[in-house]
Structure 1
Amino acid sequence: MNPQTYAAEFIFPGHPDKLSDAIADALVLEAYRREPRALVGIEVAVHRDHVYITGRIACPGAHDIDVQSIIRTVYKSAGYGKGWYPAPEQVKVISNLCLGPLEDGEAQFRELSDDQAICIGYANHLEPTNHLPVEQWLVARLAKRLHRLRMEYPELELGPDGKVLIAVSESVGASKSTWALSHFSCSLQQMTASNELSLHRSVRVNLEDELKKAAIELPGLTDTLPDQLTVNGAGAFEVGGPEGDNGLSGKKLVVDAYGPRVPIGGGAWSGKDFFKADRAGGMHARRLAKMIVQLGLSKEAQVVLGWFPGDRSARVLRATGAGGLNLDISQLVKHVDISLKKSGESFCDEKLVEVARWGHFSDATLPWERFGQL
């Protein structure tokens, strides 16, 4: 077995890009609650104590949406306030949103693609990882565990921003595959005067515990930590979030999806309703790839979908299996609804803000991850 090394990263809800994604999808969800065929196409940017929003929201009562309140709720739930800048009540919103009802006939035309898009979906046969690449599944899991430290160990004085970067060594054999965590680094926002030694100790203890649990769930994963763990390798990390860097929705497409092992398609997902071709196509491509491996057609699958303006359903441009072999899924597609109507009416979920924060394929119970009705 010739080992290959794969890297993956994840970021915390307090990261400026993830703040932007969560705000964008909180507004998508609010519009959907008012009208299942609401049109939402927005971009969000954050910097210091300012939030900038552009785009369009079309639904009944769009003018009544309390954008500022929604934004402040997102900041609060991400961990801002209580000493971490900016406090939610201090956030200033600069909006250039086009708010209003859907135009006459527009609700019906939502079933037709108003744009072009290339969308890629992926799945492997590993059910414990929810069919994601091991490194992407593991980095998200470790990030969630470390994110909990700020609540479980308040004496560490951790902030809402943070990043995790790992590398996993993978050896694929004819009958068995193995994985080992070979590199680990995290950047955790912390008050400058706090105890760095306690932080390092807490990170190590929690990583050891989480890696052991992950190894039990995924046979072949080694539960041994790398020799070196890097914590805040660039030095003190107190100034973070939108104070330390500007953020923009849609910038973390690789984190949102499968990690760098799998190519991404076109546009961003957060800030768009599920009638939008980019978002609809990404979820439909994932469904098809997941079906391929669950039906035993291949141990790995990558599906490329295309939308052309005016299409009702996505076009399957290519499907490949393990080793890059072409797959003929024409019969499968006959039994699967990959239309905008399907995604628009079925995929929006009350957990959408958490989806924006933790990845679109991190929860096997999400509508596009389940196959109760094809």
Structure 2
Amino acid sequence: MRSEFLFTSESVSEGHPDKVSDQISDAIVDLMLAKDPEARVACETMTTTQRVILSGEIRCAPMYDLENEEWAVNGGWAPGAKEEIEQAVRSTVRDIGYEQGGFHWKTLEFENHLHGQSAHIAQGVDAGKDGSNKDEGAGDQGIMFGYASDETPDLMPATLDYSHKILQRMAQDRKSGAAPFLEPDTKSQVTLRYANERPVEATAIVVSTQHAPGYYFHDGEGDAVKYAELRDYVKGVIADVLPAELLTVNTVYHINPTGRFEIGGPDGDAGLTGRKIIVDTYGGAAPHGGGAFSGKDPTKVDRSAAYITRYLAKNVVAAGFARRCTIQIAYAIGVAEPLSIYVDLHGTGNGVSEDQLEKVLPELVRLTPRGIRTHLGLNKPIYRTSAAYGHFGRQADGDLFPWERTDLVDALKAALG
């Protein structure tokens, strides 16, 4: 590592058009997992001005079955299933807070183009339906990464952690009425100066937030008093989120630097599922395998293997074996066991080596798709809340996501001690 450098990460709020799409896709995953824990879902969402479009593949017998003769008249859908899907979409948009002329949960146009899962995919993924002992294969080929760092109590990169928390606080204030001038679409970016691998100063912080009319000021435009209210509010949130020692006289603030930001969300820019994968993971501080998470049931290793590698890396750091840890796993479609596991401690290892961990970790957790889902308990409707403010380093509904637990620490110490 260099002795001193600047590093930046960004986050986007739940009202960002891509995040609206992610949350809708995961609301569909949750809906189907609630009805069938073994459901298969690959749901993509597009959002634009007053419109939401779903597409993708599903298998969920309580909701969709092409072989059910009674449902054939409705295209294979169970009675009321399409209405439930539409309700899940509208409820998600409502909860985010969109009641605008260009995007409103009640009046937006909705299209559902979901259809049945390809039998050719199913034959390689499903476990021994033919009576064999074949284990469930991976839902696709791919490489997945997990990462942990002791920069923050949540063992996340500080730049991303603070970027997320700024936006979470602003969303809470918007919904509670504490900041009624805020609208849902917001972005943040935090630049920190590092010395000896530790963050020592925030050099620049950017927040661009959609706002009520009049709260813009750039080159003399808008109401200066209203803009000052917005700027002071955002700076107050930043001061609450970042440790005081990081904010110095050198910290530069860019609050709505382009001026007016009244039109936002899907009305301002089309949104698609899976376009914010670096925001979802580690803010650029670690590699990403390329696959998105949202809209996919946990048989897809894009999602479940990324969760288990985060879980393993976090437990390595929590156990004190390293200050930073990256783990990679690779899979082939239809093959249960991973093709490889790779550990990098970035020169911060404490009493263990990478090759020791590469041997021990698969002995502690079975890294097949079924083994991962069983160990973490992933066949549950827990995903919509993961789809904004990052999948890692935080709680959901007052409890940690299962991949954020550090319950492997004692077993690691016993195996490596």
Q: After TM superposition, is the score higher than 0.5?
A: yes
Q: Distance in 1 between matches of 2:152 and 2:261?
A: 37
Q: Does the 8 A contact of 1:281 with 1:305 survive in 2? A: yes
Indicate the residue corresponding to 2:114 in structure 1. 97
Identity value in percent: 27
Aligned positions, number: 362
Indicate the residue corresponding to 1:189 in structure 2. 210
**Aligned partner of residue 317 in structure 1, secondary structure:** strand
Q: 1:333 to 1:60 in 2, by over 3 A?
A: same
Q: Does the 8 A contact of 1:13 with 1:160 survive in 2? A: yes
| Structure 2 residue ranges without an equivalent (≥5) | 64-76, 129-134, 216-225, 412-417
**Aligned partner of residue 61 in structure 2, secondary structure:** coil
Which deviates more from structure 2 when the two are superposed, residues 332-341 or residues 239-248? 332-341
Q: Does the 8 A contact of 1:80 with 1:88 survive in 2? A: yes
Q: Distance in 2 between matches of 1:253 and 1:303?
A: 17
Q: Displacement, 1:156?
A: 4.5
User: Which of 346, 354, 378 is 1:347 aligned to?
Assistant: 378
Q: Find the structure with the greater CA-based Rg.
A: 2
In structure 1, give the amino acid aligned to 2:195: S
Q: 1:157 to 1:203 in 2, by over 3 A?
A: same
Q: What are the superposed Cα offsets for residues 78-126 of structure 1, whole Å, 9 maximum, x if unpaired? A: 1111x46311111111222115899899753682113201101111234
Q: 1:29 to 1:226 in 2, by over 3 A?
A: farther
Q: Displacement, 1:226?
A: 4.9
Indicate the residue corresponding to 2:401 in structure 1. 366
Indicate the residue corresponding to 1:327 in structure 2. 354
Q: Distance in 1 between matches of 2:3 and 2:307?
A: 33
Q: Does the 8 A contact of 1:61 with 1:100 survive in 2? A: no
Q: Distance in 1 between matches of 2:406 and 2:61?
A: 31
Indicate the residue corresponding to 2:70 in structure 1. none
Q: Displacement, 1:271?
A: 0.5
Indicate the residue corresponding to 1:54 in structure 2. 55
1:208-247 matches, within 5 Å, as 208-211=239-242, 214=243, 222-224=246-248, 226-247=250-271
Q: 1:314 to 1:179 in 2, by over 3 A?
A: farther
Q: Distance in 1 between matches of 2:142 and 2:348?
A: 23
Q: Is 1:207 aligned to residue 238 of structure 2?
A: yes
1:30-109 matches, within 5 Å, as 30-62=31-63, 63=77, 64-65=81-82, 66-81=84-99, 83=100, 85-99=102-116, 108=127
The two structures have a TM-score, normalised by structure 2, of: 0.80
Q: What are the superposed Cα offsets for residues 120-151 of structure 1, whole Å, 9 maximum, x if unpaired? A: 111123461x1111111111112212223323
In structure 1, give the amino acid aligned to 2:237: N
In structure 2, give the amino acid aligned to 1:309: I
Q: Distance in 1 between matches of 2:236 and 2:123?
A: 59
Indicate the residue corresponding to 2:68 in structure 1. none
**Aligned partner of residue 123 in structure 1, secondary structure:** strand
**Aligned partner of residue 261 in structure 1, secondary structure:** coil
Superposition RMSD in Å: 2.6
Q: Distance in 2 between matches of 1:281 and 1:296?
A: 23
Q: Is 1:266 aligned to residue 290 of structure 2?
A: yes
Q: Displacement, 1:286?
A: 1.1
